[in-house]
Amino acid sequence: MATSLPICDICMTDGTSIAASVWCSECEEAICINCEKQHDRMKLTKNHKKIPIGDYQKLPGSVADIKQECKVHNRKLDFYCLIHNEPCCVSCVSKKHGTCHTLKPLTEVVDGVKSSAAFEDLEDRANDISELIGSLIKDKKDNKTRIECQKKRIISEVQNVRKAILNHLDTLQMDLLNKLDNEEKEQFKSIDSFIRKISEMRTNVDQIVSNLKQIKKHASDFQAFLAIHEWNTKIGKEEKDLMSFQTDQIMDSVDIRTEFSPILMKFEKEVNEFGKLEVKYSSAKKILLKKEQQGQIFVPAFNTVDNIKLTKIHSFQTPDGASSKILITGIDMFDDGIIVLADNQLLNKRLVIMNQEGELIKTVPLEGQCYDVAVIDKDTVATTLFVKKKVVIVDVNSSKLQRTISTKDYCYGIISTGEKLLVSLYNKTIQFFDLSGNALSTLLTADISFHCSVLNNKLYYTTHNSDAVYSDDLKGNVCWKFDFQKLDFPIGIINDASKNVFVVCNESNQLVVVGEDGKQSRILLTKEKGLHKPRAIHYNRKSNTLLVFNVSGKCFLYKVTN
């Protein structure tokens, strides 16, 4: 943040140093009281937005440094490219964005950004993680208090038992108390370390919350709009760090108990310890963030069936495996944009990890044919081995199998909600599992479904035998049904953030979008655009990009705009 009192930029041109009273975000100048009067009388500047210089100084430095001038060409930024997600000047348009068909006036894009869903989402996420950290700190402090009480109770019990035995038990008593003290110190040390970590995290998050409030109050729409990029990254890091704690035993609640040895007639010979300390870890409840990370679109927009536009970015081919024949039936994407594919070909039996440029990163061999894949976190994915009737959780970095979940029938499509896995089974059901593999519930489908999608507590799935798409609530009640043409074979399905449903039809070689009410539809891509037996589809709601894969491994990457 700015700390020194700014000097009027206009007066400085005359060699005079006068303290500024306001800041003009459009002129990007500090202005004193006298110059402000002239500024307000001039036709070109009288409608400019100004804020008190004290409010300007409250802005985070990274936001205050944002200028409306291109750093490369030193010209005013007038446009915004929705494909590259960046502002640009006239020179940028001619040199870099000449082929981009989604340029919009910058003033139109930033208008109302501080009241947009993206800004509100960022505020909600920052407040959400702050509240969660506060709750964790309270739980851990309560745990310390409980351990202290348990220690006192155990000591009292030890003393009561000691009164009934002779000198031999004195030694055993001291041994147990030493163990108790050591365990208490170890647990306190672990808890205090955890509290320090999340307290530091909370300080960072609270600073973000404070900064966002100041941005919302005092920053220009342009500054707030561009600042979201930086703050999304910062709050995303804190979210990932917080969620990563779930894999650590430190999250578990700790209790200390003791089990006394029976008092026997010949205890001097047979009893060799006073008692046993039992440290019991009760699994902590899972952290659930209120906002799905990809649930909001950065640039405020609402796509309808009629206004959706696809701009092709490029296409690429999945590299061969053991067999040159490739059968891509499933896809998902990590938060960093890395693609993971399920290659269902009998000889390949692999997951393929690639970037969006089509470059191979690695392959992960599997013990059976995989049909679909779902990203769980930054390191692990779940994939369905349909013939073997099981789901396997795989660490993609080490290529090692972590655990296996058995299913009641052949398993096909799989998606992850962050805390649950949904698996499409051949017996006309969708099975819900937690991430540990425990079966939760089952939902009946109208017909055999190979793929499904979930958004805002609504389930969407395709039934290729009956050529239809269904929308159900999570209790199995049908909200609507959309019928395709006979033998279209609708299979791959995904939603955008506006609740539109994108479906690829394997036999008619089409990509179709269906409106959120199941009434409107539109064909977006056909065989003429390169579709041939498409099955796998993915929509990245964070970048508004769509990936469509033919079973042969040919991928088409599109930017989605309205």
354-409 per-position pLDDT tens digit: 998 899 999 999 999 999 999 998 889 999 999 999 999 999 999 999 999 999 99
pLDDT of residue 371: 95
pLDDT at 55 over 80: yes
Q: Which residues pair with 461 in a beta bridge?
A: 452, 470
Domain-wise residue ranges, the chain: 9-95, 114-282, 309-561
Instruction: Read off the pLDDT of each residue in 411-415 and give the average, rounded to a whole number.
Output: 95
pLDDT, tens digit (0-9, with 9 covering 90-100), for 59-75: 887 777 778 788 888 88
The most distant pair of C-alpha atoms in the chain lies apart, rounded to whole Å, by 104
pLDDT of residue 302: 54
pLDDT digits (tens, 9 = 90+) for 150-209: 999 888 888 887 676 666 767 777 888 899 899 899 888 888 888 888 888 889 888 888
Q: Identify whether the C-beta of residue 491 lies closer than 8 Å to the C-beta of residue 505.
A: yes
Residue 273 pLDDT class (50, 70, 90 cuts)? confident
Q: What is the DSSP letter of 51?
A: E
Q: What integer pLDDT is reported at residue 415 of this predicted model?
A: 94
Residues 6+ apart with CB under 8 A from 295: 121, 497, 541
Q: Does domain 309-561 have CATH number 2.120.10.30?
A: yes
Do 496 and 502 touch, CB atoms closer than 8 A? Answer: yes
The reported pLDDT for the residue numbered 297 is 38
pLDDT recorded at residue 468: 94
Mean pLDDT value across residues 96-117: 77
Give the pLDDT score at 368.
Answer: 92
For the chain, state the CA radius of gyration.
30
Angle (deg, nearest 10), helices 221-244 and 117-162? 30
Mean pLDDT across 300-311: 75
Closest CA to 552 of 540, 528, 539, 536: 536
* Two structure tokens written together for 535: 């099955």
What confidence tier does 289 reach under pLDDT thresholds 50, 70, 90? low
Supply the pLDDT for residue 300.
43
Residue 443, both tokens: 């939902």
Sign of CA dihedral 163, 169, 173, 179: negative
Write down the pLDDT at residue 209. 87
Residue 257 or 317, more confident: 317
User: What is the per-residue DSSP string for 471-515?
Assistant: EEETTS-EEEEEE--TT--EEEEEE-TT--EEEEETTTTEEEEE-
Q: Is the pLDDT of residue 341 over 50?
A: yes
Pairing status of strand 439-444 against strand 420-425: unpaired
The conformational region for residue 428 under phi > 0 = left, psi -120 to 50 = alpha, else beta, is left
Type of residue found at 224 = A
83-99 average pLDDT score: 84
pTM: 0.53
Handedness of CA 372, 376, 377, 381 (dihedral sign): negative
Residue 312 has pLDDT above 70, yes or no: yes
- 538-560 as b/e: b if 16+ CB within 10 A: bbbbbbbbbbbbbbebbbbbbbb
Q: In whole angstroms, give the CA distance from residue 305 to residue 562.
A: 9
Gap between the Cα atoms of 18 and 6, Å rounded = 9
Indicate if the pLDDT at residue 240 is higher than 90: no
Residue 36 has pLDDT above 50, yes or no: yes
Task: Flag whether pLDDT at 294 surpasses 60.
Answer: no
pLDDT of the residue at 286: 57
Q: What is the mean pLDDT of residues 412-441?
A: 91
Please check the confidence at residue 477 and state whether its pLDDT lies above 50.
yes
pLDDT recorded at residue 117: 65
CB atoms within 10 A of CB 336: 7
d(CA 406, CA 69): 58
> Do 516 and 308 meet the contact criterion of CB atoms below 8 Å apart?
no
pLDDT band with cut points at 50, 70 and 90 for residue 478: very high
**Over 70: is that where the pLDDT of 264 sits?**
no
